[in-house]
Amino acid sequence: MKRIILLATLATLPINTLLAANYTIDPGHTYVSFAINHLGFSTMRGKFDRQSGSLRYDPASKSASVKIEIDATSIDTGHDKRDAHLQSPDFLNAAESPTITFESTAVQWNGDKLASVSGDLTILGVSKSVTLTVTSINCGKHPFNKKDVCGFDATGSIKRSDYGVNYGLPAIGEVLDLYIELEAFKN
Amino acid sequence: MVIFRLKPQLEPTLMEQILNRPEIQSAVAPFIVALLFSLGLKKVTASAWIWSIFAAFLIAASLINGLTLTPLTGTRKIILAVLGALVVSALAPGVIQRANLRRSLLVLLPMLAVLWVFWKVAMRMEITGIALFVTAAVGLVVALTWAFDRLTGDPASFHAAGFSLMLGTGLCATAAASALLGQLALSLSAASGAVLLAWVLFGNAVKSPHLSKSLTALPYILAPALFGIAAVLLARLPWYALIPLATIPAATSLVPGKIESRFFSALVQSIPGLVIALVVSFWVWQTGSSDSGY
- Please report which helix (H) or strand (E) contains residue A3, including its range: helix A2-12
CB contact under 8 A, B235 and A89: yes
Nearest to A94 by CA among A123, A130, A51, A128: A123
Q: How far apart are the first and last CA of chain A?
A: 30
Contact of B36 with B48, CB cutoff 8 Å: no
pLDDT, position B51: 93
- Whole-number Å distance between alpha carbons of B254 and B272: 9
Omega within 30 of 0 (cis) for the link into B155: no
- Please report which helix (H) or strand (E) contains residue A117, including its range: strand A113-123
For chain A, how many structural domains are there in total?
1
Q: How far apart are the first and last CA of chain B?
A: 24
CB contact under 8 A, A40 and B120: no
Can you give the CATH number for the domain in which A171 is found?
A: 2.40.128.110
- CB proximity A47 to B under 8 Å: no
CA angle B36, B38, B42 (to 5 degrees): 125
- Average pLDDT of span A144-158: 92
pLDDT, position A72: 95
pLDDT, position A112: 83
**pLDDT score of A14 more than 70:** no
Which has the higher per-residue pLDDT, A130 or B98? A130
- Average pLDDT of span B126-149: 91
Range scoring the smallest mean pLDDT among B75-84, B159-168, B204-213, B263-272 = B204-213
- Give ipTM to 2 decimals: 0.77
pLDDT, position A15: 43
- Whole-number Å distance between alpha carbons of B23 and B63: 11
Interface with chain A: mutation pick from B172, B180, B237, highest number of A CBs within 10 Å:
B180
**pLDDT score of A111 more than 90:** no
pLDDT, position B177: 72
Domain ranges (residues) in chain B: 22-287
Per residue in B14-46, pLDDT (tens digit) is 888 888 888 999 999 999 999 999 988 877 777
Please name the member of B71, B235, B290 whose beta carbon is closest to the beta carbon of A126.
Answer: B71
Residues 49-88 of A with CB under 8 A from B: 77, 79-82, 84-85, 88
**pLDDT score of A117 more than 90:** yes
Closest residue in chain A to residue B20, using alpha carbons only: A169
C-alpha neighbours within 13 Å on the C-beta side of residue B105: 19
- The CA distances from residue B20 to A34, A41, B132, B234, B255, in Å, are 26, 20, 38, 24, 39
Per residue in B207-255, pLDDT (tens digit) is 444 555 578 889 999 999 999 999 999 888 988 999 999 999 999 988 8
What does the mean pLDDT of chain A come to?
87
The amino acid occupying position B262 is R
Say if residue B11 is exposed, middle or buried (CB neighbours under 10 Å; 0-12, 13-18, 19+).
Answer: exposed
Which has the higher per-residue pLDDT, B157 or A17? B157
- The CA distances from residue A156 to A153, A176, B99, in Å, are 11, 9, 61
Of chain B, the percentage scoring pLDDT greater than 90 comes to 50
Q: Helix (H, G, I), strand (E, B), or coil: what is residue A79?
A: coil
Rg (CA), chain A: 19
**pLDDT score of B84 more than 50:** yes
Of the spans B40-49, B152-161, B265-274, which averages the highest pLDDT? B265-274
B chain contacts of residue A174, beta-carbon cutoff 8 Å: 8
Closest residue in chain A to residue B21, using alpha carbons only: A168
Nearest to B218 by CA among B126, B152, B131: B152
Of chain A, the percentage scoring pLDDT greater than 90 comes to 61
Structure confidence at residue A75 as a pLDDT band (50, 70, 90): very high
pLDDT, position B42: 78
- CB proximity B21 to A under 8 Å: no
- Average pLDDT of span B165-185: 92
Range scoring the smallest mean pLDDT among A76-85, B90-99, B265-274 = B90-99
Q: Domain for residue A5, yes or no?
A: no
Q: Domain for residue A2, yes or no?
A: no
Per residue in A155-167, pLDDT (tens digit) is 999 999 899 888 8
Q: The domain containing residue A177 runs over which residues?
A: 15-186
CB contact under 8 A, A164 and B71: yes
B chain contacts of residue A44, beta-carbon cutoff 8 Å: none
Range scoring the smallest mean pLDDT among A94-108, A118-132, B94-108, B195-209 = B195-209
Query: How far is B88 from chain A, CA to nearest CA, in Å?
Result: 27
pLDDT, position B291: 52
- CB proximity B294 to A under 8 Å: yes
Of chain B, the percentage scoring pLDDT greater than 70 comes to 88
- CB proximity B125 to A under 8 Å: no
CB contact under 8 A, B177 and A166: no
CB contact under 8 A, A40 and B6: yes
CA angle B55, B281, B36 (to 5 degrees): 20
Contact of A34 with A177, CB cutoff 8 Å: yes
Q: Domain for residue A7, yes or no?
A: no
**pLDDT score of A46 more than 50:** yes
- Average pLDDT of span B92-112: 81
Q: How many CB atoms lie within 10 A of CB A166?
A: 17
pLDDT, position B293: 56
- CB proximity A157 to B under 8 Å: yes
